[in-house]
Structure 1
């Protein structure tokens, strides 16, 4: 139990330190066009569904 608490404490402290540093020094990029990504979501979900069905019935 002590090991688990140590790991959680280290992760919590790392998040407190790393997140502000990443936000401060991250490059300011141009806004992304999410319309291009959004049009692929439904077809990819269909592919995943079919692959899961194949996996369920044949493996």
Structure 2
């Protein structure tokens, strides 16, 4: 039980420290970059669903 609490504590501290650092030093995206990425979301999700169905039924 103490191992689990130690792991959870380390993960929580890493999140508390890393999230502000990532937000501070991350590159600010252009709106056109987001629109270019957003057009790939639906096809990638459809591909993921098909691959999960294949995995479920054949493996």
TM-score when normalising by structure 1: 0.58
Which ranges of structure 1 fall in alignment gaps of 5 or more residues?
none
RMSD over aligned Cα, in angstroms? 2.4
Q: Report what 1:31 is aligned to.
A: 30
TM-score when normalising by structure 2: 0.58
Q: Which has the larger radius of gyration?
A: 1
Structure 2: distance between partners of 1:28 and 1:42: 25
Structure (1 or 2) with the greater helix fraction:
2
Q: Report what 2:6 is aligned to.
A: 6
Runs of 4+ in 1 over 6 A off after TM superposition: none
